[in-house]
Amino acid sequence: MWNEGNASVHEGQFIRYGGHNSLRGFQEDIFKSDFVSISNFNLLFVPSRMLHLYAFTDIAFDKKFDFKFSSGLGMRQKTKYSVMEISFGWPMEEAFSRGKVHVKFTSLLD
């Protein structure tokens, strides 16, 4: 249990974030909080319907206004039956070498 004032939050009720689906450039679910706000900004370049290239910036802050920033580049390739997405993001407060490569495969089965 975690207590803040009179409110108790069970460990299982925390929101876990970080990684490809929330805050790219960080490990998956490395952060946890009972409140978090995440914004993802993507600048898309679409050379074809099946290929998207993008630059991104992700921003998150928790209940204590602990801000996390990351930026990076990525690509999304779509086929008839799947989507493959690869992105490289790095935390803006850390060295470029601390960045993470995220790979995501999605099946489009009917």
pLDDT digits (tens, 9 = 90+) for 38-90: 999 999 999 999 999 999 999 999 888 889 999 999 999 999 999 999 999 99
Quick one: CA torsion of 31, 89, 23, 17, rounded to 10 degrees? -30
Q: What local confidence, expressed as pLDDT, does residue 85 receive?
A: 96
78 membership: H or E segment, kind and range: strand 67-78
DSSP 90-101: EETTS-GGG-EE
Helix (H, G, I), strand (E, B) or coil at 6: coil
Q: What pLDDT shows up at residue 88?
A: 96
Output the pLDDT for position 65: 84
Q: What share of the chain in percent tops pLDDT 90?
A: 55
Task: Note the pLDDT of residue 59.
Answer: 95
Q: What is the mean pLDDT of residues 10-31?
A: 87
Cα distance between residue 70 and residue 25, in whole Å: 6
Q: Cβ distance 25 to 17 under 8 Å?
A: no
pTM check: above 0.85: no
What per-residue confidence (pLDDT) applies to 74? 97
